[in-house]
Structure 1
Amino acid sequence: MEIRQVRHFVAVTTHGSFTAAARAEVIVQSALSASIRKLERELGAELFERTGRRPVLTPAGAAFLPAARALLAEEASAREAVSAVTGLTSGRVAIGTIQTLTSVDLPAELAAFHRVWPGIQISVIDATTAGLLDALLAREIDLAYLALDDSALPGGLTGFASWQEELVLMTSPEHRLAGAGRTLLSDLVAEPFVDFRAGTGLETSVHRLAAGCGLHRRITCEVTQIRLLADLVRAGIGVAIVPRQVAEWAGLPSVRIRQPDPPRTVVLAGRSPAPANPAAGALLAHLTSGSGPARTRSPLQRLTASRTNGDRS
């Protein structure tokens, strides 16, 4: 049994699909599937049921998951011990993020960090807030950007910084409210909505906001990618409630929502006030120093620009 096989198994449970896990592990899906098949042969049992649309843990897989997470935690502890005596000339840090992070330009921040500490390997995990919380508590990642809304961090976790993000109504350029500037949630009763899959951080924020105002939204389409959500709104299939900068980066009208003012809270969190992993401590110091790079284009903005230049992959 190899650590990478265990990491691939846990990645599938964290991300909910072989495709998303392969993307997070930066390998092709066929290689990840082969790695898990080899692990199953070595353990003598199938770990996932693969008959449905999404892989589901078998009883053997559910029994193996706690041990797998413990193995990865031990590996992380071993790496931290070595990093502590190598002066950060090497090491590894894992950071999680919600897909709709707009408060921080994470790619630019990580690039600046890499220029200072080129020997540190950085892993970036894109998952839901619930998945990131589980990964933090299981020591699979060191830090994470979470969308918490009104809920508090679970015990054992520490918040290092927080931001308030305004939620706005994003519409197509031709929509009747595109130039309105402001609107009430009660004015949106008849509107079709494009929304994120249930359980994601943004969907939870929007659901809480709508429920608090008695708005029962008619969901036309559910998606898992922010770029696709923006493209569907642009095509006129529905409107969406998103952080203001998402609408700005997509080049779509943003309408301020009145009564109430709807912020959401994004928190940078970790397991303790001082990370045991020296590489994580260095990254945390960089992210909270206030001296990071100036904001550059977001991933969505870069994708939008690439589409304009002919890249439609």
Structure 2
Amino acid sequence: MAEVKDGKLVGTKGDKGNPDSQGFLCVRGQNAHQVIDNPKRLLRPKIRKQRGVDEWRDASWEEALQLIADNIKDATGERTGIWIGHGTFTLGGAASNQLAGRFASLLGCHNWSPSMICWGLGAFGIGLTGTLTTSTKEDMSANSELIVLWGASFTSQPNTARHIVQARKRGARIITIDIRKSEAASQSDEVYLIRPGTDAALALSMMNVIIREELYDEDFVRDHTVGFDALCEHVTPYTPEWAAEITGIDADRIVALARTYASTKAAMILLGGSSMHKGDNTWAAARAVSCLPGLTGSLGVAGGGMGPRHG
């Protein structure tokens, strides 16, 4: 909600009538009004004077657009690659993204994305399994029996924090997987400290345990998934002992985590929106993690599946 004084926007505050936020507003939202009339806001294009040097000069819109067009023409046909439409999220952002996608298609780009780098790769990986978001914060707080905060923190997902607290008061078990003891760890029953960039190894070894010990939901796998036999073959060498050397988590703890997760139907994984998705092939780690609810059949179950990645 906007706070206006003498015709000027002076502040923003949460809407207590909103069923989701109930008036909560993150730090970014609380300071959103500062974007308007900010003296540091760029109002005209700037062109870098020299590559590798942080020196810029003012330019007209005509010059800037012509420079962009000329460089696109030079690149087209030689190294057509990923078109990033980052920055199109304004009012009517969905329409802007569609136009950016159409523009990329006309240029012949192989790939394009309007997403932010902090979560775009994760969304791509999860999207490949069809589990981009299967559950809500409200479902989690009301129904989840086990919540796995996989790289999710209360700093990057502050609105989720109060739902976690509510779920814990109700008796839900909380497990945190992170590279550090985050503020979420203080609200957790167990904490697994993992080496950076090794999330895929942990997920693969958990699948190894679940399949080897036949803890998977046979009916769900048969009726609602594809490629199970190939997955079984793929994860066979990825034992807990193998993963322990890579992740820094003891093999027996990996086995215990896999058993706990597989034996709890209303188990929800909250994959951090900005955690593991900033390195090479990090989309593959998100994809591996999102295979877990498909194996255990927690998709479509109240309190189960993959939870919200932002908020």
Higher CA-based Rg: 2
TM-score after normalising by structure 2 = 0.22
**TM-score, normalised by the number of residues in structure 1:** 0.22
Which is richer in strand?
1
